[in-house]
Structure formats: C-alpha cells, structure tokens
Amino acid sequence: MRDTGRDDNDNVRHNDTGGYRGAALRALSDAGAAVGDSVVITYKDGTRRAGLLMPRYEHDDDSHVVAKLSSGYNAGISIDQISGIAVDRRGTVTDMGRDGGAGTESSEPARNRAGERILLLSTGGTIASRIDYRTGAVTPVLSASDLRDSIPELADIAEVDSEVVISEYSENIMPEHWLALARRIDERAGDASAGGGRPYAGIIVAHGTDTMHYTSAFLSFALAGLPVPVVLVGAQRSPDRASSDAATNLIGAARFIASHGGGGDVYVAMHGGSGDDAIACHVGTRVRKNHTSRRDAFETIGGSPAFVVSADGGISSAAASGGPDGAGRPRPGPEYSPRISLDQRVALVKYHPGYDPAHLGHIIDSGCRAVIFEGTGLGHVGRAMYGQVERAGERGVFMGMTSQCIDGRTAMTVYESGRDLMEMGVVPLEDMIPEVALVKAMWAASLAEDSDGIRRIMLENVASEMSAR
C-alpha cells in the first residue's frame, strides 16, 4: 500500500503492507486504503459491510482482505466478491497494537468511587495477549496498565494500580518466577504509599492458564496467612476476540476483592460456566484446569468453588449454597510469616503399565530429595517398582502418593499392595492434587533437613490442600 503522507484530517499515514500482496494489495492500493482504516466494502450484489481493515497472516493468500466487524469478529472477504472499497476514517496499524508494543505504563491509576485499592500484577499469558495478524499467532504484548485501562468497569470497583512482573506464556513460567512473584506480592501487600494511607484490599495476578494452578499452589504455601487475598486470573481467549473471557474474569476478581473483606487466601478466578453470568473463585490449592479450551476450564476438585461472583456483583460462598465444607472453603489462615523458598530436587512420577523402574532409579541417583507418585486408583504402583521404591527409602528420599483419579482420596490400607508400599516408606497424601503435591514438596524440601521433616510438612494442611473427610 502506498504511503499517502497526511490526509485531509492530518492523520499520519503509514506504508506498511500489513501482510497483503498481489491482487489484494492492488485492490487496497487502488482504493487508497491502508491497514487500520475504517472502510466500507461494497459487494457485487450491492450489499455493504463496514469494518476495520486488519493485517493478513504473513504467508496467507493474496485473494482476500480481512475486516474486523462491529461484532468484534474478523471476516475474510474475497476480492472476487468486491466491487468497491471506500475509506470511512483514516487510522494506523497501531490501532490494533501491531507495533508489538503493549503501550506505556500509565502513571495514573484509574480512580473509583468506592475508595478500595487493588494491585494488578501481570505475568503474561493469553489474558495479556493479542492476535498478531502478521503471523496469525497469539502473542503476549499487553501491559498491566493496558489490561486495566481496557476495562473501564474496573474504575467503578476499585482504584487499580498496575505493574508487570514478568511477561511469559505460562508454559515458560518456572519455579524461579514463582519466587519472584511471591516476593513482589509480599513487598506490596501492605503498601499504602501513593494511596492516601490506604493499603491494598487485595492483589490480582494476571497469569496464563496452562500452569496457573502450579503458581497458585506455591503462592498458597509461601504466603500462607497473607492479610489480603491474592486472586490469579487468566483467559482462555485473548482480549481482542469477541468471545474473550479476559474482561469478565478481571471484573469478577476485582468485585470479589472489593467485597471480600476477610483475610488473605490465594484463589483462581475464572468463568463458572459457558456464559458470562458467573465467575468462580477457586481455592488455589484445590483447583485444576480440566479442559483445553472451554471458558469454564477450571474446577474445584472434590467440592464447589469457594465463592461465586454473579454478573450483578453479588457474591455467594460454597457454604451458603450448600457446598461441602473443606474443599469449597479455605480454613482460617495462620499468622502471616512468609516462607518464600523452594528446592527443585523433587520429581513427579506418573506410574503406568510398562513404566521402567530404571527411570525411578535415575531420579534417585540424581540426588532427588522427594518423589511424588501419581499412582493408580487408591494409591498403587506395580510390584515391578518395589525394588527402586525400597532403594529410595534407604537413600532417605521422601515418597508421597497421590492418585491419577481426578476426584477422591488415597486409601493405601485397603489392598495388600498399598500396605506393602507404606511399609517401604510411601506416605499417602489424602486427596492432594498431584501437581499441588509436587509444588508443596518443593517448598517443604527447602524448609526441612531430612525426609522426616518433609513428611511432617507434607501432612500439615497448610492452605486447604487436603479437604476435610
């Protein structure tokens, strides 16, 4: 597309082809249209469609143009069906954030009537992403202030400060990132600076969904007793999609914090159904992502969400709705004394028929201090594993047993095989989720000198990781 300098409205134009080439590029050039312009496309049958001209995928065909419609969805329109393109309003490619920048961090937080303060920390993920229409991929480019400023409803709920801690997809978040995030939360939790002497009512962490329950588990242990709630929020669909759940999840988390009024626990706030009428707040150690793409992918294992935020702002608890005590509600927290540390010399072993015991041998020989078994049923591994299990016990390796079953708890005294494993030193971990047990073992190993110390910590219900019987 040609560079037309400045138009009659003195808007700066650009010479970015936006991924267009061939016939599509010629059609846009003939119309004087560029990526970012609002255009009206006339079809050969006389119908018209208005939209924002979007970039193309870098390696896509040359016979279509893409327009974002008022509905928020993108439409690919064949050049063969078009009789004319008219520019309604000039724009620039940066209208879609395609410059790769997330914008600058706003120095002034949104003000609100209620007077509550919330800190929004961003770590990346889909919730802080846009579609890059050059490549067709979702990229993490939104800053914390972009998230805050793109949702004006937040200003009616609380005064929101924002900060980027890291910017990564959740599959790239490692234990060292958990430590950095926990330390930052600890530093800012009681911060009343620039807030008229008002500390934060709570902290929202924008996080990718794939490993969000690992992060929520670590924060639950490391920051047990924190005086304000921490709510991790993700999105199954990026904010520029019409079906995005980013805004509703953030609004639900903010409403929950502003109305919670209690002590601090760690939660995960995501859609509670396929619609937008409920945001479920799950206890951070009792939640799991159970679907790859649904907006209500997260579920509390073994019970109901701790709280549900309705579309009108009302908040109900699991106890009020008849949900079970324990997994549905966190127990009262201890006095706050953060223990922000971990030891990564821990392994999660998923047993399966044909598992080679030599793999467990390699784990033991590597200097691993704890092994979490994801066993079958009530908590079993095959007898072929017994030799290495005994060797691990002799080496002073802590061994904990969880179940591959999504729900229910281990019960290793029911069958002979379970009793044999307990005699070898394997410790049943009730209904602890395997991933949560892994994270807790990393945390426990950093606090204990030996396997007995790890065992004591693992059997202590620190952050509702084990539900009441």
pLDDT tens digits, residue range 236-265?
876 555 557 778 888 899 999 998 755 679
Separation between Cα atoms, residue 151 and residue 93, nearest integer Å? 22
**128 and 56 co-located in one domain:** no
**186 and 232 co-located in one domain:** yes
Give the CA-trace dihedral at 324, 329, 334, 335, to 10 degrees. -150
**73 and 122 co-located in one domain:** no
Question: Contact 225/340 with Cβ under 8 angstroms?
Answer: no
**392 and 265 co-located in one domain:** no
- Residue 398's H or E segment, with its range, is strand 398-403
The answer to whether residue 258 sits within a structural domain is yes
Q: Check if 210 is active-site.
A: yes
**280 and 409 co-located in one domain:** no
**179 and 226 co-located in one domain:** yes
In the prediction, which pLDDT does 400 show?
98
The answer to whether residue 261 sits within a structural domain is yes
The answer to whether residue 260 sits within a structural domain is yes
In the prediction, which pLDDT does 106 show?
38
State the catalytic residue, choosing from 123, 209, 215, 248.
Answer: 209
Length of the chain in terms of residues written: 469
Strands 159-164 and 117-122: parallel
Single out the residue of 92, 98, 95, 97 nearest to residue 9, CA to CA: 92
**What are the residues whose beta carbons fall under 8 Å from the beta carbon of 215, sequence distance 6 or more?**
123, 170, 173, 177, 178, 181, 205, 207, 232
Strands 202-206 and 266-271: unpaired
**288 and 398 co-located in one domain:** no
Separation between Cα atoms, residue 252 and residue 269, nearest integer Å? 7
**165 and 258 co-located in one domain:** yes
Q: Select from 317, 335, 366 the last residue of a domain.
A: 317
In the prediction, which pLDDT does 325 show?
42
In the prediction, which pLDDT does 66 show?
83
CATH number of the domain bearing residue 60: 2.30.30.520
Q: Check if 186 is active-site.
A: no
In the prediction, which pLDDT does 459 show?
98
Longest dimension (CA), the chain: 85
Containing domain of residue 149, as a range? Answer: 117-317
Q: Select from 47, 64, 96 the last residue of a domain.
A: 96
**79 and 164 co-located in one domain:** no
**60 and 159 co-located in one domain:** no
Q: Select from 96, 130, 151 the last residue of a domain.
A: 96
The answer to whether residue 10 sits within a structural domain is no
The answer to whether residue 122 sits within a structural domain is yes
State the catalytic residue, choosing from 126, 248, 402, 410.
Answer: 126
The answer to whether residue 338 sits within a structural domain is no
The answer to whether residue 139 sits within a structural domain is yes
Question: Contact 203/189 with Cβ under 8 angstroms?
Answer: yes
Separation between Cα atoms, residue 461 and residue 22, nearest integer Å? 64
CATH number of the domain bearing residue 454: 3.40.50.40
Single out the residue of 307, 452, 279 nearest to residue 369, CA to CA: 452
The answer to whether residue 467 sits within a structural domain is no
In the prediction, which pLDDT does 319 show?
56
Separation between Cα atoms, residue 171 and residue 164, nearest integer Å? 18
Split into its structural domains, the chain has a count of: 3
**134 and 270 co-located in one domain:** yes
Separation between Cα atoms, residue 88 and residue 148, nearest integer Å? 30
Residues of the chain under the 70 pLDDT cut: 1-18, 57-60, 70-74, 91-115, 125-151, 192, 194-196, 238-243, 261-263, 319-334
Helices 434-447 and 451-458 meet at what angle, rounded to 10? 130
State the catalytic residue, choosing from 60, 248, 289, 296.
Answer: 289
Query: In the numeric block, which tokens belong to residue 287?
Result: 């939640």
Alpha-helix residue ranges (DSSP H) falling in 165-211: 175-188
**131 and 92 co-located in one domain:** no
Number of Cβ within 10 Å of residue 3's Cβ equals 9
